[in-house]
Amino acid sequence: MRRPQDMDKPPLAPNALLDATLRAVPRRYRLPELDDAFAPALDASPATTLALVIEQARAALARGETPDAALKDRFTGALARMVREAMRADGGDPVFQAMVLRHRAAPVREYASLSARADQDRRTIHAAVNALAHPGKQQRLGAGPQREALARMHAYAGAAAWDELHEAAQRLLDTPQTPASVGGPPPARGLTLLLEHPALARLRRLDTLASDAQVVAYRRLWERYGPRSGSASAVAQGVSSRRRGEAAEAQATQAIEALAQRLNAAAGASAPYRVVTSMRVPAAIPAAHQHAKSEWDVVLLGQSAAAGETADETPAWNVCLLVEVKASVDAATTDFPRLLRGLRLLAHADKDVVYPFATRQGTVPLRGAALCALPSAAAALSRTVLYCCDAPAEPTPRLLGAASRMQLLSATPTLDFAAALTAASPAGVRELEPVWRALLEAPGWRAVLNQYATLRQVRELMVHTDDLVAAV
């Protein structure tokens, strides 16, 4: 209902109403601009001190100045404090401690390397065993020791008993072959290839390393972080997270649908606005799709007087608002580079083409000219992109992003420093100066150098779903 003081004002046009609604949504995740006034409060925490120092270094470089030695000393001192906190036996960071253990212990490094490709190796060996001992192949053999040996091989592969599988295959290869029954025995070449396959050797070595004391400690650290991948707990956690995500997306969709209804009412015409979900970018757009966002959670579409039509006279649509639903600020910050690449992908559309986009509501034709007009610069997104989140705003927001923190901690000099903390003569903070130099000079550290500016941009685009509903 319009307020009495607004009764004499003309209603807003739909585009102006959309802009006004977006401006009216409270931005409870917004961050202040960092400056020297924050220094006393932030110095109590090494992570927030690092955020301040990194932002001051970025600002100095932007002015063409070289950050001074005092700033470097604050950086290395804060990084050393953060490492010591993370290495505490009680209340430390198990992920970082696992990284340090992997860095200094050769068996752990080998175990981690083999674990990274273990899933693929397991699939490879299962395929090789099925080629020799699939139950269907067993049935084509008559009853006897060969059929029993194949059954054992298949069972060992299913149980991930790699040493036993190797022994069973070797015994079968060494057994004199009897005259072939229907289907014949497995060929010696196939057994030899299985026995000599590098994937089987890696899996056997992985099992051997699993009992090493340092590897056991490494695995326990990861278990403190969360359930092992593929375990029942991990699966249950994944199901729960997916349900929460679906509920959050449904709530955001309802809010945008309510916004579309308001815009339609203001337009005074036949529903020129609509909402679609899970909008997938077609391969026909001529640009690289790799690492770019190719599916958008919720999209507000609108028609205009300039809208083209498809060959069957179906009206085409323009993108008015792209909405992504995230569980946390960290998730949105991690997603932001993909989002920017996704916008650049859309901007490569041919302005004279109408593209079919698949959505949960069916295929929707979108005008290439409108896609080309979407902003792709991070500073120009406020009228086009929203991140919706249902997490509460933190009383004291983290000013050092999770990805930046991890890059600082996983740098080789940082790991060397952390490993030395357990030695008789720990390294001094000067050992961390290479991280400072990399931060200022290395292209691979640009995201960390710009981390606070990026974090502010992302949080500026974030709204709590309840606030969006209330504003609409």
Tell me the range of 19-33, 170-184, 221-235 where mean pLDDT is highest. 19-33
Please state which of the ranges 70-79, 86-95, 390-399 shows the lowest mean pLDDT.
390-399
| pLDDT tens sequence across 386-412 | 999 999 988 888 899 999 999 999 999
Residue identified by tokens 């929707």 is 364
The span from the CA of 367 to the CA of 369, in Å, is 5
Domain spans in the chain, listed from the N-terminal domain onward: 107-226, 242-389
Minimal CA–CA distance to 76: which of 417, 441, 452, 424?
417
Token digits of residue 66 = 């070289």
- End-to-end CA gap in the chain: 12
**Strand, coil or helix: 270:** coil
- Judged against a pLDDT cut of 90, whether residue 455 lies above it is answered with yes
Residues 91-113 pLDDT 10s: 899 999 999 999 999 999 999 99
Does this model's pTM top 0.75?
yes
The torsion defined by the Cα of 85, 231, 131 and 166, in degrees rounded to 10, comes to: 60
* Residue 418 contacts residue 100 (beta carbons within 8 Å): yes
Q: List Cβ neighbours of 358 (8 Å cut-off, separation of 6 or more).
A: 279, 280, 282
Task: Compute the distance between CA of residue 268 and CA of residue 116 in angstroms, rounded to an integer.
Answer: 58
Amino acid code (one letter) for 249: E
Specify the pLDDT at position 11. Answer: 45
Percent of the chain scoring above 90 in pLDDT:
64
Compute the distance between CA of residue 176 and CA of residue 205 in angstroms, rounded to an integer. Answer: 29
Q: Which of 244, 451, 436 is nearest to 328 (CA)?
A: 244
337-341, 406-410, 419-423: range with lowest mean pLDDT: 419-423
C-alpha span between 107 and 96 (Å, rounded): 17
Give the integer Cα–Cα distance in Å for 268 and 14: 10
pLDDT band at 431 (very low <50, low <70, confident <90, very high): very high
pLDDT at 65: 96
